[in-house]
Amino acid sequence: MWLRVAAVFEKVFKEFIRDRSSLFWTIAWPALWVVLSCLIFTQGIPEAILPKVKASMTLQMMGFALMLAGMANLPASIAGDRERGVYRKFASTPMRAWEDALGRLLALLLFSLISSLIVLAVGLALGSRYEVTVIAIVEAVGVSFLLLLASGGIGLIIGSIAGRERSATSIGVGVSVITSAISGVFAPYQYLPKGLKLFSKYYPPSTSISALIYLLLGRRYAGYNPLTRLHTPYIITSSLLLFVIGLVFYRLRLWSQRL
Amino acid sequence: MYAVEAEDVSKRYGDVIAVDGVSLTVDRDMLYAIMGPNGSGKSTLLSMIATVNRPSGGVIRVMGHDVVGETDEVRRLINYIPEFNFSSQHLTGLENLVFYAALLGIPRSEARDIAQELLRRVGLNEAANRLVSTYSRGMRRRLELATAFLGDRPLIILDEPSGGLDPSMRRVVMGWLLEEVRERDRTILLATHIGEDAEAADRVAFMKDGRIVAEGHPEELKRRYIRESIIDVKLAVKGLKALELLRGFAINGRVMETDEGYRVFVEEPERAMPRIIERLNASGYRVLEINASTPTLEDAFFKMTGSPLG
C-alpha cells in the first residue's frame, strides 16, 4: 500500500512541477503580486514600518499561493486524471481511494511548501522583515497547514465535480481569486467594508491568513485578533470540516461506483 | 477452470440497456476477441469483467472468482487497459510505466528494469526518457499497451488495443498479443470494432445491441455466414448512386461500405465484375480496383447482423 501512495505522490508532484500553468498560477502569480505590492503599493508608507508592511503583504501572498495550490492545482490533477480514464484504470487495480487521496495530498503539501518558500524569499529580497520566536514560527506552520487543509477541501470538491482539467483549473483559480479579493487577502483587513470583514473572519482560508499575520507580525497588521479562545477552535474545526467534506465528495464522486 | 465465465450478464443505465443477457466462456491461454460496432456494449462488458463497473444482473467469474464477491482476488489476476489515453503527459514513458508497475505492487527496484525491457519490446526505448506530451498518438497507445504486460497477470483485458494505430502497427500489436498467449501462457480478452484485429484471435464473439449474436473460431464464423462470393470495389469517389447501383448486383441488396469503396455479396463474381465496371463508368464513377475477395470477419458480421462494424 505505501508503494502505491509513494507512486501517486511522485506522479502528482512531477505533474505539478512540470505543468507551466500550475507553476504560473501557484508560484509566479503570487510572487508577482509580492513584487507589485512591495514596490508600488507601499509608496508613502513611513520607513519605520515599511519592512513589516511588506512582510504582511508577503504573508498574504504566501497564503494566496497555498489557496491556489489547494483550490486549483489539486482539482486539476484529479479532474485531469478522471478525464483521461485513469480512475477507470485505478478501479481495476488493488489501489484504494485513501492511497490515491493521500498520495495527492502529500504532493500538494510538498508543492505548497516550495511555492510558499519561494514567495517568502521574494518578499525577503524586497525588504520584508519579521521579528519572531521559534514558537511563533511553529504555530505559523500549523496555521498554514490548516489553511492548506481548508483549501484542499475546497479543491477536492471542485475536482470531484468538474468534468475536465481545464474547467477544474478555471473554477479553482476563480474561486480563490474572488474569495481572496472579498476577504482581504489582496488588501488589509482594516480597509474592508463591514460585511466583507465578517466574511473575512469566518471564511476559513482568509481567517487562517489573518492568524498567520497575527502570529508573526501582531494585531496591528492582522487587523483583529483571530486567535481568541472562541475563534481558534473555529479555525481548526472549520478547516477540518471543509477538508472532510471534500474527502466525502471525492470518495462519492470518484470511487463509489467501484466494486 | 475458465479464464472468464459470464452467465446472463446485464447492465442498465436507467432505461438504457447496455448489456443484455450476455453469456460466454473464455478458455485459458487463448486470445478471445469481442467484435462489434461502437455502442454495442463491448466496453461495458469488459469493464464489468475488469471490476470497474457493477453488473445489473448475472454472474461473472474470473479464474473461478466472482467479480462482485471476490473483487480483490480478481484484481490481483487481471490487467485492464481501457480505450482512452490514460498515460500522463507530464511524465516520461519510463515514469509512466514505473507508476503503473507500482499500482500492481511491483517494487521500484524491479520496476525500472521491467519498464525498460517493455519499452524496448514496443519500440519506445529511444523515447523512454521523453515526456509523453512529445509522443505521437501511436506512440502513446504503444506505451499504454506496454502497461498491459506488467505484472505477469494471467488475464489481460484490452479495450480497442489498436485504436489510433496504422494498419501496419496494428498487425505488430496483434503479434505481441499472440506472443503473450503462446509464449507466456496468458489469456487475452479484447474488444474491437476492427475486423482485422479479430482475425488473429482464437475465438471471436460478435456483439450487437448489448447481445452476443454469434461466437466461434474466425474461419468457422466466415464459413457459417458467408456462402456467397465477395467483390471488393475501390472507387475514386463514393456516392449514393454508386451504392444503389451496386445493390442491384448484390444478393438481397447486400453491399457493405468500406473506407475505400464497397464490398458486394454476389453469386457469380466472374460474370458480375465486368458488368459492375461498365455500369459504374457509365454513371461517372471511376473504378480504381475491382477483384474477387476472400471473406473477412467484417463481412461475416455484416451478413449476420445487417450492420457494418464501423
Residue B57: give its domain's CATH number.
3.40.50.300
Query: What does the pLDDT look like over A32-77, one tens digit per residue?
Result: 999 998 888 888 888 888 899 999 999 999 999 999 999 999 999 9
pLDDT-derived band of residue B294, with 50, 70 and 90 as boundaries? confident
| Residues B18, B21: Cα–Cα separation, whole Å | 10
Q: Is B95 on the interface with A (CB under 8 A)?
A: yes
Same domain, B195 and B240: no
Query: What does the pLDDT look like over B4-38, one tens digit per residue?
Result: 999 999 999 999 999 999 999 999 999 999 999 98
Determine the residue among A89, A111, A169 to mutate to test chain B binding: the one whose Cβ has the most chain B Cβ atoms within 10 Å: A89
Same domain, B290 and B184: no
Closest alpha carbon to B46 in B37, B55, B261: B55
Single-letter amino acid, residue B214 = A
Same domain, B154 and B242: no
B65: left (phi over 0), alpha (psi -120 to 50) or beta: beta
Query: What does the pLDDT look like over A121-177, one tens digit per residue?
Result: 999 999 999 888 899 999 999 999 999 999 999 999 999 999 899 999 999 999 999
* DSSP state at residue A173: H
Same domain, B134 and B19: yes
Return the pLDDT at A217.
92
* DSSP state at residue B78: E
Residue A186: burial class (beta carbons within 10 Å; 0-12, 13-18, 19+)? middle
| Residues B138, B175: Cα–Cα separation, whole Å | 16
Return the pLDDT at B185.
87
B100 contact residues in A (CB cutoff 8 A):
89
CB contact under 8 A, A19 and B90: yes
Mean pLDDT value across residues A191-219: 92
Closest alpha carbon to B230 in B215, B207, B246: B246
Closest alpha carbon to A46 in A35, A54, A58, A37: A54
Return the pLDDT at B267.
86
Same domain, B138 and B16: yes
CB contact under 8 A, A90 and B103: yes
A6 contact residues in B (CB cutoff 8 A):
102, 108
Same domain, B150 and B278: no
- Find the angle CA(B230)-CA(B234)-CA(B237) to the nearest 5 degrees: 135
Single-letter amino acid, residue B305 = T
B156: in domain: yes
Total domains, chain A: 1
The rounded radius of gyration (Å) of the Cα atoms in chain A is: 18
Q: Over pLDDT 90: what percentage of chain A?
A: 75
CB contact under 8 A, B86 and A84: yes
Q: Which of B71, B82, B98 sits opposite A89 (nearest CB)?
A: B82
The rounded radius of gyration (Å) of the Cα atoms in chain B is: 22
Q: Which H or E element spans position A108? A: helix A97-125
Calculate how close chain A gets to B118, using CA atoms only, in Å: 19
Mean pLDDT value across residues A189-195: 87
Total domains, chain B: 2
Residue of B nearest to A84 (CA): B86
Write out the residue range of the structural domain in which residue A163 sits.
2-255
Q: Over pLDDT 70: what percentage of chain A?
A: 99
B187: in domain: yes
CA of residue B233 relative to chain centroid, distance: 25
Closest alpha carbon to B46 in B208, B192, B157, B193: B157
| Chain A residues in contact with chain B using a Cβ-Cβ cutoff of 8 Å | 3-4, 6-7, 10-11, 14-15, 18-19, 84-86, 88-95, 257-259
CB B257 within 8 A of CB B243: yes
Length of chain A in terms of residues written: 259
Return the pLDDT at A21.
85
Return the pLDDT at B177.
92
B53 contact residues in A (CB cutoff 8 A):
257, 259
Query: What does the pLDDT look like over A128-139, one tens digit per residue?
Result: 998 888 999 999
B302: in domain: no
pTM of the model: 0.88
Single-letter amino acid, residue A243 = F
Q: Is B54 on the interface with A (CB under 8 A)?
A: yes
Return the pLDDT at B140.
92
Calculate how close chain A gets to B67, using CA atoms only, in Å: 8
CB contact under 8 A, A94 and B104: yes
B307: in domain: no
Same domain, B51 and B127: yes
CB B203 within 8 A of CB B33: yes
B64: left (phi over 0), alpha (psi -120 to 50) or beta: left
Distance linking the first and last C-alpha atoms of chain B: 35
Write out the residue range of the structural domain in which residue B51 sits.
4-222
Same domain, B137 and B242: no
* DSSP state at residue B286: P
| Residues A247, A157: Cα–Cα separation, whole Å | 8
A15: left (phi over 0), alpha (psi -120 to 50) or beta: alpha
Query: Residue B282 sits in a domain of what CATH number?
Result: 3.30.70
Q: Which H or E element spans position B292? A: strand B287-293
| Residues A245, A211: Cα–Cα separation, whole Å | 23
Same domain, B140 and B242: no
CB contact under 8 A, A4 and B103: yes
pLDDT-derived band of residue A110, with 50, 70 and 90 as boundaries? very high
Same domain, B265 and B164: no
B9 contact residues in A (CB cutoff 8 A):
none
Q: Which of B68, B78, B98 sits opposite A92 (nearest CB)?
A: B78
CB contact under 8 A, A85 and B82: yes
Query: What does the pLDDT look like over B241-286, one tens digit per residue?
Result: 999 999 999 988 889 988 888 999 998 888 899 999 999 999 999 9
Residue of A nearest to B95 (CA): A11
CB contact under 8 A, B75 and A93: yes
Determine the residue among B45, B84, B85, B90 to mutate to test chain A binding: the one whose Cβ has the most chain A Cβ atoms within 10 Å: B90
Same domain, B31 and B140: yes
Helix, strand, or coil here: A253?
helix
Q: Is B56 on the interface with A (CB under 8 A)?
A: no
Residue of A nearest to B156 (CA): A92
Determine the residue among A82, A83, A93, A104 to mutate to test chain B binding: the one whose Cβ has the most chain B Cβ atoms within 10 Å: A93
| Residues A81, A224: Cα–Cα separation, whole Å | 42
Return the pLDDT at B304.
87
Helical spans, DSSP H, in chain B: 42-49, 71-75, 93-103, 108-121, 137-148, 167-184, 195-199, 218-225, 240-247, 269-282, 297-305
B309: in domain: no
| Residues A236, A150: Cα–Cα separation, whole Å | 9
Q: Which residues pair with B4 in a beta bridge?
A: B26, B62
Residue of B nearest to A1 (CA): B105
Determine the residue among A83, A165, A259 to mutate to test chain B binding: the one whose Cβ has the most chain B Cβ atoms within 10 Å: A259
* DSSP state at residue A186: S
CB contact under 8 A, B52 and A88: yes
Same domain, B273 and B254: yes
Which B residues in the span 117-176 are in contact with A, Cβ-Cβ below 8 Å? 131, 157
Return the pLDDT at B243.
92
Query: What does the pLDDT look like over B31-89, one tens digit per residue?
Result: 999 999 989 999 999 999 999 999 999 999 999 999 999 999 999 999 999 988 899 99
Calculate how close chain B gets to A102, using CA atoms only, in Å: 14
Q: Which of B78, B82, B103 sits opposite A88 (nearest CB)?
A: B82
Closest alpha carbon to B188 in B32, B48, B62: B32
Q: Which residues pair with B192 in a beta bridge?
A: B35
- Find the angle CA(A177)-CA(A178)-CA(A180) to the nearest 5 degrees: 65
Tell which of B188, B222, B256 closes a domain. Answer: B222
